[in-house]
Structure 1
Amino acid sequence: MIAEWTEWLVNLGVPAAAIAGAVGGFHAWARGEVSAALRALGLGLLGVGVLSNLDTLGGWIIGPAGESTPVRHVEAPSVLPWLLLGVPAALAAVFAVLGLVRLGKRRQGKRRTVREADAAAQARRHAIESDHDEVTDAYGAYLCDILAVLDRPALDDVTVPQTAALLHALDAADDARRGVDLDTYRQAVSNLKTAWRTADEHARKTGTAHLPASDRAAVSKARALFEKALDDRGSEYERQAAHAKARALLGAVLTIPRQAAAAVEHQTRPALAVDATA
């Protein structure tokens, strides 16, 4: 009777213990609990060993008490040796595959993090460059507009502290743009925006008030002549004559930026400009 009970328990318990150890180990491994996974695997193997030797353990526990009773020897199922060898190997293979999967996911996560960081850095650089370009475009538009130069001459005067600070900030931002440190670049552009706003506001507020009265009069006459030179309703001769007079008036008063001079030249002498670009 004991032998039959032992055989029945072995046939059911050995696979159940192996499956329980595998399932428990799998869940623990999936949660990242390596020690718990090994503990479950070990308990499963221990259960397999105990259940596989119940007939021997039963003999130890019951012992030869009283009248000896013939004990029926039950041979273990033929599949049991293969099960004892295959279950640990299968569990080891499963855990190895799971480890590779987890390692692959971890590497994918790192690569994804790097890509996201690169994308964020690129977006940040683009935003900083947009602010940088906004200032340089505004300053470049000023330098190309002769009327703006005559209205705000202090913005092109390097002896004005605000203008000197602006030029220094422009150089610093250009240098930072060629570097890789975004924090340094961001700070340089922030300083540039402040310097531009300060210099432009000062130039607008000052106008030509910082010039001697005679120079202010010359600037006023030259501005009127430049307006006539830029008016495409006049003849080419009249426009060129006005341009020449305006340049003569400003010769000893202001230095016209080369960008503004080129823009006026292009608009007042279109035929020469076309020949030069041909």
Structure 2
Amino acid sequence: MGIAGAIQLVWARGTGQEGKESAGTGLMFSGFVVAVCGVVIGQVIKRSDGDSGPEAVNPAPVDALAVASTPAPAPIIEAPAAGPTDWTALIWVLGSVAAIAVLALAWCLIMRTRSHIADRKVAARGRADDFAAALDIYSDVVAAYAGYLTDPCSIFVRPLLDNVDDPFTGAFITAFAEAGDLRTERCPDDAARITAFAGAASAARSAWKKADEHARAIGMGMRTSADKRTIGRIESALTLALDDAATPAERDAALTAVHRLSEGMLTIPDRVAGSVRTQQCTPVPAQH
């Protein structure tokens, strides 16, 4: 019974069936109690048998003549005193139960440790996957925003993305900065930090989509025919300034014309002037 209880306890621990752990423990304890009681009762009975001798029988009363003519009874030989109780069997039982209990406990600890290690590996893989997904979202936003900043001609399509006072652009800049602050070079061990970064990256992506769509919808805004012609001349001059085939003097003259024509009408960001000789004007794909 004790061995069966130990086996049931180990099985319950190993398979994670917590409801059967108490049953196995009770069965093992019951077997231990039954074994101890059996040994103790056996020793008591054995000692009682050793201590008992011939029963004394009260003889019936006889007269004096009968007593005188009756030969003297043989002397009663007393049984030798019982020796010390032999507890060897009990010691073997207790030792066996203790050994089984130690083995069961050791096995439970091994299985629990293996389970904890497996759980930690699963959790680590989950954190890595979540961080990679969040990093992909953040990288997409970085690439989209960089595509705007590195294209000088984008100021004719989405000029509001350079205006931080615009509500949509301002919301994006804030969300993008928060996501950048939470980004780490390696996957954090804290799942809460990964969750925070994933939320910030998703918020930045949503804010970028709204700001980009809003900037495209507004474009250059409502302009008169004269303003539109001027904007066309500015775009042509900027294209010439970006043309590698033009001479340095032509590019410088074109850049000067860009600043002169845009004064009071269009703000030319410093990044455009800084990259005008190294960047090519590329078409801006529509964002969906």
With structure 2 as the length reference, what TM-score do the two structures score? Answer: 0.66
RMSD between superposed Cα atoms in Å: 3.5
**1:249 maps to which residue?**
261
Give the alignment partner of residue 237 of structure 2, picking from 218, 225, 230. 225
Which structure has the greater CA radius of gyration? Answer: 2
1:266 match: secondary structure: coil
**1:42 maps to which residue?**
33
Give the alignment partner of residue 127 of structure 1, picking from 105, 123, 133. 133
Change (3 A) 1:117 1:213: farther
More helix by share: 1
**2:103 maps to which residue?**
97
Runs ≥4 residues deviating over 6 A = 56-59
Higher relative contact order (CA 8 A, sep 6+): 2
1:206 pairs with 2:218: yes
The alpha-carbon deviation at position 53 of structure 1 amounts to 6.6
Give the alignment partner of residue 173 of structure 1, picking from 149, 173, 179. 179
1:230–1:239 contact (8 Å) kept in structure 2: yes
Partner Cα separation in structure 1 for residue 137 and residue 228 of structure 2: 35
With structure 1 as the length reference, what TM-score do the two structures score? Answer: 0.68
| Letter in structure 1 aligned against 2:95 | A
Deviations 1:155-191 (A, max 9, x none): 2122332222222222332344479534433333222
Change (3 A) 1:58 1:264: farther
Higher alpha-carbon deviation: 29-38 or 200-209:
29-38
Deviations 1:31-83 (A, max 9, x none): 33222211122223334455667767899xxxx8xxxxxxxxxxxxxxx8544
Percent of aligned positions that are identical: 26
**1:107 maps to which residue?**
113
Higher alpha-carbon deviation: 196-205 or 50-59:
50-59
Deviations 1:186-205 (A, max 9, x none): 33322222221111112112
Q: Paired residues, what number?
A: 234
2:139 match: secondary structure: helix
* Stretches of structure 2 lacking an aligned partner (at least 5 in a row): 13-20, 56-85, 281-288
Partner Cα separation in structure 2 for residue 213 and residue 170 of structure 1: 37
| Letter in structure 2 aligned against 1:228 | L
Change (3 A) 1:156 1:82: same
